[in-house]
Structure formats: structure tokens, C-alpha cells
Amino acid sequence: MSDTLVGDPLVRVEAVSKHFGDGPTRVDALRDVTIDVFPRQIVALLGPSGSGKTTLLNVIGCILEPSSGRITLDGDLVYDNRWLRSDLRRLRLDKIGFIFQKHNLIPFLDNTENVAVVLVLAGYSANEARERAVELLDYLEVGHRKHAMPSQLSGGEAQRVAIARALANRPRIILADEPTAALDSHRAGIVMDLLRKVATDQNAAIIAVTHDDKIFDRFDHIYQLRDGVLENN
């Protein structure tokens, strides 16, 4: 775990609220949530189903628009009661990597191509994209499977390829939704060790939604959400 917090937060969420609907049908999914996540820090979002964890992750990932508040990502104020960036797709490509419980690898592409496709979308040449993809697969110790198809991978290998894809464009903010839920204790530990390596080597911040009590001791801080309210800070 990180002993000290260095520099400015990579993720700053200030008094963010999100509601769906209006009047008697209104649902307050987030209510005045404030958190800071710093470089090299790995934090967890915990809470019962419907507590707002995934909503908060999607708000930070610029997938879901808040109702109010401020969001700063890597020093860039991106939301202040409205989006301040017109191209959110570019923002996500530049700043954020996503890891999901289901790896969502494209079944008809091999592992190198699954990672490279993100870079091609970001404007890299095909050769540059493949070189970067192989570099990442080697970094995550799955380079020997670079020509394999997703269907040929174990659960742990598939999650490593998914992490490689999330790191493809060198984002400093990694958002993970139940990254170890489908893994046994041993493989879950390996994935968390890899995320710690990424946080340290790339000076990155990692935020994970999880229910997996096998990995609670791997986080620098745990945020508890209940009914859209942050219970501890």
C-alpha cells in the first residue's frame, strides 16, 4: 500500500450529485459525493447493490453526465455543472483506461489485435499499435499468448489482456468494475499485484468497484457508498 500521497489528485470529485427522473419518480443515485484519488493510489468503491458505485464510476469515466458538481481529471477541469469538453470520446481515450469484470475481448481478433485496436482508434499506425500491444502483453507477462484467440485463454490470462488494452494509450486513470469477481483467490491476487505494478510504474490512480472481500487488504483506501451517499472519507 502507498504510504504517502504525492502531488495533486489525478481524480477530484467535488459535491457530485446524479439523479434520474423528476418529481415523485426521481431517484437520487449520488448525493454530494466528494473524493480525491492520488497518483500511485488504488482505491475501492464498496456498497450494496444500488448504492451508486457503478454510477460514480461511470460519472468519473465521463460516460454518464452528473446532475451537479465538479470533476477534475489529471489537472483538467472537465465538468462544472456542465461538460467543459466537447469531445468526451477523445477525453476518455487520452486520460482513462477501463477494466471490466467480463473482459469483453473481441472474439475474432487475437490478443495482440485486441489491444492494438484501441491504439488504431486513437490514431496510431497499424505497426505502431502492434508494437505497443506486444510491449504491453510482455509487461503483463502474457506475451507468450500474443497470437492466441480469446477463447483459448484462461480467465486470468483474459483479464491480463483486458488490462493491457486498458493501458494501451498510457492513461493515468484506470477505472475497474469488479475486475476480480470471476477469478479465484490466487488469480485475483495476481491481478491486484499487476494493478499495483501499473499504479507504481505509471504513476497512475486506480479506482475499482468491488464486492470481492478476498482483495480488500490490497487497497489504499476504501470508500463506502450507501443510497448514493459517501459514508466515510
Residue 181 domain flag: yes
* Separation CA 187–CA 132 (nearest Å): 25
* Burial label, 203 (beta-carbon count in 10 A; 0-12, 13-18, 19+): middle
* Separation CA 105–CA 152 (nearest Å): 12
DSSP H helices, 61-125, are: 88-95, 111-121
pLDDT given for residue 42 in this prediction: 95
Q: How would you classify the pairing of strands 96-100 and 173-177?
A: parallel
pLDDT given for residue 6 in this prediction: 62
pTM summary value: 0.87
Residue 197 domain flag: yes
Q: Who's near 170: CB < 8 A, 6+ residues apart?
A: 202
Residue 187 domain flag: yes
Residue 92 domain flag: yes
Of the candidates 122, 181, 228, the residue with the CA atom closest to the CA atom of residue 132: 122
CATH number at residue 220: 3.40.50.300
Do 173 and 12 touch, CB atoms closer than 8 A?
Answer: no
Of the candidates 103, 116, 108, 105, the residue with the CA atom closest to the CA atom of residue 156: 103
Residue 226 domain flag: yes
Axis-axis angle for helices 155-167, 126-139 (nearest 10): 130
User: What does the pLDDT profile of the chain (233 residues) look like in tens digits?
Assistant: 444 556 789 999 999 999 998 888 888 999 999 999 999 999 999 988 888 999 999 999 999 999 999 999 999 999 999 999 888 988 988 889 998 777 789 999 999 999 999 889 888 899 999 999 999 999 888 899 999 999 999 888 888 898 889 888 888 999 998 888 777 888 788 888 888 988 998 899 999 998 888 888 899 999 999 999 998 65
pLDDT given for residue 55 in this prediction: 94
Nine cell digits for residue 1: 500500500
Residue 178 domain flag: yes
Q: Who's near 217: CB < 8 A, 6+ residues apart?
A: none
Residue 5 domain flag: no
Q: How many domains does the chain have?
A: 1
Residue 91 domain flag: yes
pLDDT given for residue 213 in this prediction: 83
Residue ranges making up the domain that contains 133 = 39-63+87-230
* Separation CA 145–CA 162 (nearest Å): 13
pLDDT given for residue 190 in this prediction: 82
